[in-house]
Chains A and B, each alone.
Chain A
Amino acid sequence: GAVVSQHPSRVICKSGTSVKIECRSLDFQATTMFWYRQFPKKSLMLMATSNEGSKATYEQGVEKDKFLINHASLTLSTLTVTSAHPEDSSFYICSASGGTGDETQYFGPGTRLLVL
């Protein structure tokens, strides 16, 4: 149980285009979903936290208009990187929590974004 999927797994796009990444909890209802960014050989940096039906809470330094997050249902959250630039190239990972109280997060496999 507790499977989280992400789509796409890899995406290459041109500078200036927008990219949407989907995160789905397949076998549980995710009351909260998290979006992280990870640079090579680095730790995970939390970008934002989203609860179903409400606006995402962004971490300091993360541009809300740049990284649009939508948590439309208890099983789906999307991250849209708008007007992507090469510096947005990174590994984006989502996770989901079912609200068990212990805040265990179940992670998706990640999406590697390369902006040319």
Chain B
Amino acid sequence: SQQGEEDPQALSIQEGENATMNCSYKTSINNLQWYRQNSGRGLVHLILIRSNEREKHSGRLRVTLDTSKKSSSLLITASRAADTASYFCATLRRGYSTLTFGKGTMLLVSP
């Protein structure tokens, strides 16, 4: 089964606005992680939330996790042009040691 479906696929906002991306998954997880990828580059780890956590903050990032709905959201507040990138959620399923990545959300922040 496919894990980590993000929506929207693409999001275009103005600088200063907030950006919200969602991720849904299908099986029980140990944790869920969000990564960022600039065009043609590797991924940068942003934040990890464990299955027993509901919300986590890191700077302008806020991640929520609802295990009953098998979904997570990533909120970027006061967005900047430099936040333009693709954002992926990845799940570590129970009993597995590998991450499963979603298809990603392409975020464009215009000045």
Residues of A within 8 A of B (CB): 4, 6, 32, 34, 41-44, 46, 49, 91, 93, 95, 102-110, 112
Say yes or no: B42 contacts A108, CB within 8 Å.
yes
Contact partner of B48 among A6, A93, A104, CB < 8 A?
A: A104
Contact partner of B42 among A46, A102, A104, A109, CB < 8 A?
A: A109
Rounded to whole angstroms, the CA-CA distance of A106 and B88 in the bound complex is 14
List of A residues within 8 angstroms of B4 by Cβ: 43
B20 within 8 A of A: no
B95 within 8 A of A: no
B82 within 8 A of A: no
List of B residues within 8 angstroms of A93 by Cβ: 42-43
A-B pairs, top 5 by smallest CB distance, nearest first, are: A107-B42, A107-B43, A109-B42, A43-B103, A44-B101
Chain B interface mostly helix, strand, loop or mixed?
A: strand
- What is the size, in residues, of chain B's interface with A at 8 Å between Cβ atoms? 24
**Per-residue A-contact encoding for B81-96, CB less than 8 Å = 1, 0 else:** 0000000100010000
Instruction: Contacts A49-B98, A107-B35 known; list 7 others, CB within 8 Å.
Output: A34-B99, A43-B102, A46-B99, A93-B42, A102-B48, A102-B50, A103-B30
Contact partner of A34 among B50, B98, B102, B106, CB < 8 A?
A: B98
Rounded to whole angstroms, the CA-CA distance of A32 and B104 in the bound complex is 24
Say yes or no: B88 contacts A104, CB within 8 Å.
no
Say yes or no: B97 contacts A107, CB within 8 Å.
no
Rounded to whole angstroms, the CA-CA distance of A32 and B97 in the bound complex is 10
List of A residues within 8 angstroms of B41 by Cβ: 109-110
Contact partner of B99 among A42, A103, A112, CB < 8 A?
A: A103
Contact partner of A44 among B30, B31, B88, CB < 8 A?
A: B88
